[in-house]
Chain A
Amino acid sequence: MTRLVRRQGWVAGLLVLFVVLLVITRLIQPGYGSGDFGSLVRAVLPYAFAVAAQTIVVIAGGIDLSVGAMMALTSVTAASMMDGASEEYALFVVPFVLAMGLVLGAVNGMLIVVTRVPDIVVTLATLFVLQGAALLVLGAPGGAVAEWLRATIVGTLPIPGLPGISAWIPKALVLLVVCLCIIWIPLKRSKLGLSIYAIGSSELAAFRSGVPVARTRIIAYALSGLFAAMGGLALTMSTGIGAPIPGPYLLASVAAVVLGGVALGGGKGGLLGPIVAVFVLRLVRTDLTLLAIDPNVTAIIEGAIMVAVVMFGAFITMRSRQS
């Protein structure tokens, strides 16, 4: 029991924090309802995928600085392919873009394995490459998106007989949960998932226990690329266009990963923590906006919260290690 609490304590704390924040939001804005919650989830969607992409790589003991650039590239690719094309064509575009993310992520991993350059440098280099590619695909924000794709994240999931609850289940949330679960749950339960944790925890020990370190690392980066491609698609779906300049997804993803209890050294944590953390971070932003605080001050507060929470978390781990 204590082990369960210790393992899930951080995530539970984050969930409590999220609920507290929701209550505070209701207090600030009594009219805050299901519609606002829906728009919160839609805003979170690209961030959540970026966080998932970062989480899997961090668990494997690496870091991916190219997440934002990857999202930009996949987003502009999707938007420019769907521009002026028929609705059905998008059925082909979505798998194509996802496959592209998977392959580019695998290339990231292979470069790290083959060149033996530190991952932070390799992904820094691919950040430039992907950004450049995004600019070549689409010089300025533009493109279009198929209507049915937009419809998949707008509105709520109708549950017959329960209109009260169904109003609080936006389609975007369903999409997020489905996409993450389809990949994460089988992975976590498979040997591959165990290998990913193993190489993050100790590469040498993993190698000596017969884990194919190079292959596992490449797969981890490939999955990260896949999540980033989902993020890029989500970005295009929610804005209706593709933008070649990446947003603040890199910083946000690293912050949420750390807030979510995934150690930057690797081998610890899960996907749920970072996802809840990114919801917390976005909700804080919403609250600050509702309080009519200057958006620039919001940036300061966000940064301060991030630093404070990370310091607190590091302090707790230090204390628990000493006792």
Chain B
Amino acid sequence: MSTTAITPQPTPFGRRLKRFMADRPLIPLIILLVMLVVVLQILRPGIVNERWLANTVKFAIPLAILAGCQTMTMLTGGIDLSVGTVATMSAFIMATQVVHHDPAVAILIALVPAVLIGLVNGIGVGVFRVHPLIMTLGTSLIGTGCLQVYQRTVIASGAKIPPFLAWLGTGLTYGVPNALLLFVPIAVLIVFTLRRTGFGRLLYAVGDNEGAARLSGVRYWQVITALYVISSVLAGITGLLYIGLIKAPSLSLAEPLVLPSVAAAVIGGTSIFGGRGGYTGTIIGALILTVLTTLLTILQMPEGARRILFGLIVLFVTAAYLRIIEDR
């Protein structure tokens, strides 16, 4: 019955391994990513090549940037569900304005609604203390409505995608996606901001214990307003990149990315209650979700079964990951 209790043993290998992984939360994620790629290679031998890799990275980047918005807002205990609408708005407005204006001007015009929505989100959450979930859902509803009204005014003029954005979105240079040109600086900036700057530390502080942060002199509403504006602008930039990748402006362009972006941040180990997490995990989370989508696509299942599997795997991965981390 209790033989294990009688014979004392050195720390079992399993527990040591678990502790090792808990100390370095990125390692289990990377192992999972590699495992998924291996499964993919077994199912379709030869699919994992340079072109596939470039494609995966290309599709993971917009998701990873949006998941970055979620990561930062989740660190403060919030969430930004308006990113999909903001990305769609900036993409659609850019594609229709570029007909009349210079691309640079069109991009500037396209980012204006992003800033406005971010500002409203930030003021609502920071000053009026509305729950971020409801605030960002509300602004995304307003944004979608505005976009539909806007669409009718430009329906005659048509839309086009500037070659520069198409190059950035889909192009490859020596087999490396050009989108990395945009993504790497953004990722470095987010990681640097979160780890090394005062603003990043404020985000963790506010999310960890808002009352304590307030008493230590943090101006809550300023931090939150700045955060949501940044998040929205990032989402706007993602929209511009995404339209270069998809090349078909529509009114629901980036909407399907919203829930996966939350999932990517959670899989990456960011706590939805705030105060814990980081961006590197989120990037790997986004890659995992992208590979997973490919995997489910090549299995040629009906759409329904694919969604079921996607949901189950997201749940399983998050649960398993939390188990590993919780030991710390």
Contact = CB atoms under 8 A, between A and B. Distances in A.
Contacts of B302: 135-136, 139
A129 B311 contact: yes
Given A116-B319, A124-B262, A311 B128 contact: yes
Nearest to B149: A296
Contacts of A127: 259, 311
A251 B133 contact: no
Nearest to A65: B259
B315 A258 contact: no
Contacts of B34: none
Contact of B139 (A302, A303, A315): A303
A298 B144 CA distance: 11
Interface string B117-145: 00010001000111101110111011011
B145 A300 contact: yes
B314 interface: yes
Given A111-B315, A255-B134, A255-B137, A300 B146 contact: yes
Given A127-B259, A311-B130, A297 B141 contact: no
Contacts of B66: none
Given A129-B308, A300-B149, A258 B131 contact: yes
B137 A254 contact: yes
A307 interface: yes
Among B128, B266, B272, max chain A CB count under 10 A is at B128
Contact of B307 (A121, A129, A298, A318): A129
Contact of A299 (B148, B272, B318): B148
Among A63, A126, A258, A301, max chain B CB count under 10 A is at A258
A302 B141 contact: yes
B306 A132 contact: yes
B310 interface: yes
A298 B308 CA distance: 34
B141 A314 contact: no
Contacts of B135: 307, 310
Contacts of A122: 315
Contacts of B271: 118
Contacts of B149: 294, 296-297, 300
User: For the complex, would chain A's binding face be called helix, strand, loop or mixed by DSSP majority?
Assistant: helix
A110 to B, nearest CB: 12
Interface residues of A, number: 45
Interface string B139-164: 10110111011001000000000000
B134 A310 contact: yes
Interface string A110-154: 010001111011101111110111111101000000000000000
A264 interface: yes
B104 interface: no
A307 B139 CA distance: 7
Nearest to A302: B141
Interface residues of B, number: 45
Contacts of A132: 303-311
Nearest to A304: B142
A208 B308 CA distance: 38
Contacts of B318: 115, 117, 121, 125
A131 B309 CA distance: 11
Nearest to B136: A307
Contact of B141 (A136, A139, A306): A306
Nearest to A137: B304
Contacts of A251: 137, 141
A135 B130 contact: no
B312 interface: yes
Contacts of B148: 296, 299
Interface in B270-328: 271-273, 302-312, 314-315, 318-319, 322, 326
Interface string A229-272: 00000000000000000000001001100100000100000000
B272 A135 contact: no
B292 to A, nearest CB: 12
Contacts of B130: 307, 310-311, 314
Nearest to A297: B149
B259 A124 contact: yes
A134 to B, nearest CB: 7
Contact of B303 (A111, A117, A135, A315): A135
Contact of A133 (B124, B129, B308): B308
Among B263, B308, B309, max chain A CB count under 10 A is at B308
B304 A134 contact: yes
A300 B142 contact: yes
Given A124-B263, A297-B145, A318-B129, 7 more contacts: A117-B315, A117-B318, A128-B314, A135-B307, A139-B302, A300-B145, A307-B120
9 contacts: A121-B272, A121-B318, A125-B263, A294-B149, A296-B145, A299-B142, A303-B145, A306-B134, A310-B135
User: Which 4 residue pairs are nearest across A and B when measured between Cβ atoms?
Assistant: A132-B307, A128-B311, A135-B304, A299-B145
Interface of B: 79, 120, 124, 128-131, 133-135, 137-139, 141-142, 144-146, 148-149, 152, 259, 262-263, 266, 271-273, 302-312, 314-315, 318-319, 322, 326
